[in-house]
Structure 1
Amino acid sequence: MSGNLPVQSVTADYAQRVADDLSANRSEQERVRSELARLQDELVRLEDSEQVLTKMQEVLGGTPKQATKQRKSSKVASVPAARGSNRKKAAGKAAAAGRKAPKKARSPKKAGEPTWLELTTAYLGGQSEPRSAAEVAASLTETHPERTVQVTVVRNSLEQGVAQGLLERSKQGRSVFYSPAAPASAPSGS
């Protein structure tokens, strides 16, 4: 029996290290997802501001539209594909986004229009059941036909809401659903 003890101990040590590494990896993935959602929302705000400023510049007799369009069509962001079972799906979306980026005809966000985060949280606040990002995007497409709704932007806004504690995420199998966060209640002592 003494011969098996070191092997079991080494195996248990490796199993614990792997479990710890996996937990750290998942935590880091969640942190990066939250940061990515925040950065993508910031990028959307900056692009919207750029459009407003460009229109103002044109009105004031600044640079012609053509130079702005050429500069915009040359920008294509590259995001690495996800690993695992979503790799092909994410790579396909990235490739599709890359092809569509130069043709992207976004309606500019006017001053005073709600942000995607505000739109998604308001929509979910009126729902009795959790909704998927696709369901939220479909509803926003119907209620805001003047805005170009992309599921990716909606999903990132939903994740931003989760990171800010405004929304809750739940999983059912491989599907992810979002709902408003429960109102903060008095902490329970356990």
Structure 2
Amino acid sequence: MSGNLPVQSVTADYVQRVADDLSANRSDQERVRSELAWLQDELVRLEDSEQVLMKMQEVLGGTPKQTAKQSKGGKAAAVPAARGSNRKAAGKSAAAAGRKASKKTASPKKAGEPTWLELTTAYLGGQSEPRSAAEVAASLTEAHPERAVQVAVVRNSLEQGVAQGVLERSKQGRSVFYSPTAPASAPSGS
């Protein structure tokens, strides 16, 4: 009967490793989904900005390239091939993003509303301790019930803040916490 103990111990080790790997895999999936959602949102913002800029350009009289394109009836020959193919790809991505966005219940950001990055950094600026993405999302949900808060979007905004150097990321075990970066202290003139 003592021969069964090592087998049970090895089995228990494998069960724990598989559980840990599964948890890590799910965390990676959530992270990638968050990044994908942010990229899709960013693409929609860029496309909206492009439309506004194109309308402004049209009102202002356009550029020689724009005028040449319009005089040829908008044929693709006036646009370099690389740009044309990028626009097709962007159009397909925009259509996919539009379909996905229409399935979501999240309300879009209205003009004049703060961005998620602004909301997250402002919230963390008022905290005395680092907070997790879930804690930040929960607080933003309470503070802004008119906006559909998604943890993945909040996490992505927090990571954007880290990339821009306005937030710091710290890990405690498997948990990730965010806090504002410490302001650089001015050298004393004594």
- Given the two structures, how large is their TM-score scaled by the length of structure 1? 0.52
2:176 and 2:25 mapped to 1: Cα distance? 21
Q: Superposition pairs for residues 135-146 of structure 1, below 5 Å?
A: 135-139=139-143, 141=144
Q: Which residue of 1 aligns with 2:88?
A: none
User: How many percent identity over aligned positions?
Assistant: 20
Q: Superposition pairs for residues 54-133 of structure 1, below 5 Å?
A: 54-59=51-56, 60=58, 75-77=98-100, 98=103, 100=105, 106-107=109-110, 115-128=115-128, 130=131, 131-133=135-137
Determine helix, strand or coil for the equivalent of 2:100.
Answer: coil
- Given the two structures, how large is their TM-score scaled by the length of structure 2? 0.52
1:181 and 1:168 mapped to 2: Cα distance? 11
1:75 and 1:58 mapped to 2: Cα distance? 21
Q: Are the aligned partners of 2:169 and 2:179 in contact in 1 as well (CA < 8 Å)?
A: yes
The alpha carbon displacement at 1:73 in A equals 9.3
1:44 and 1:8 mapped to 2: Cα distance? 54
The size of the alignment, in residue pairs, is: 138
The alpha carbon displacement at 1:20 in A equals 0.7
**What letter corresponds to residue 54 of structure 2 in structure 1?**
Q
The alpha carbon displacement at 1:114 in A equals 6.4
Question: Paired residue for 2:38, among 28, 33, 41?
Answer: 41
The alpha carbon displacement at 1:167 in A equals 4.8
Q: Which residue of 2 aligns with 1:20?
A: 17
Q: Are the aligned partners of 2:137 and 2:149 in contact in 1 as well (CA < 8 Å)?
A: yes
Structure 1, unaligned stretches of length 5 or more? 79-96, 143-147, 171-175, 184-190
Q: Are the aligned partners of 1:124 and 1:180 in contact in 2 as well (CA < 8 Å)?
A: yes
Question: Paired residue for 1:166, among 141, 165, 168?
Answer: 168
Q: CA RMSD in A?
A: 4.3
2:10 and 2:47 mapped to 1: Cα distance? 54
**What letter corresponds to residue 123 of structure 1 in structure 2?**
Y
**What letter corresponds to residue 76 of structure 1 in structure 2?**
R
Q: Which residue of 1 aligns with 2:149?
A: 151
Q: Are the aligned partners of 2:169 and 2:176 in contact in 1 as well (CA < 8 Å)?
A: no
Structure 1 pair 32–53 and aligned structure 2 pair: CA distance change class (3 A): same
Structure 1 pair 117–134 and aligned structure 2 pair: CA distance change class (3 A): same
**What letter corresponds to residue 135 of structure 1 in structure 2?**
S
2:180 and 2:33 mapped to 1: Cα distance? 21
2:40 and 2:97 mapped to 1: Cα distance? 16
- Structure showing greater radius of gyration is 2
1:46 and 1:31 mapped to 2: Cα distance? 22
1:22 and 1:42 mapped to 2: Cα distance? 30
Structure 2, unaligned stretches of length 5 or more? 60-69, 75-90, 183-190
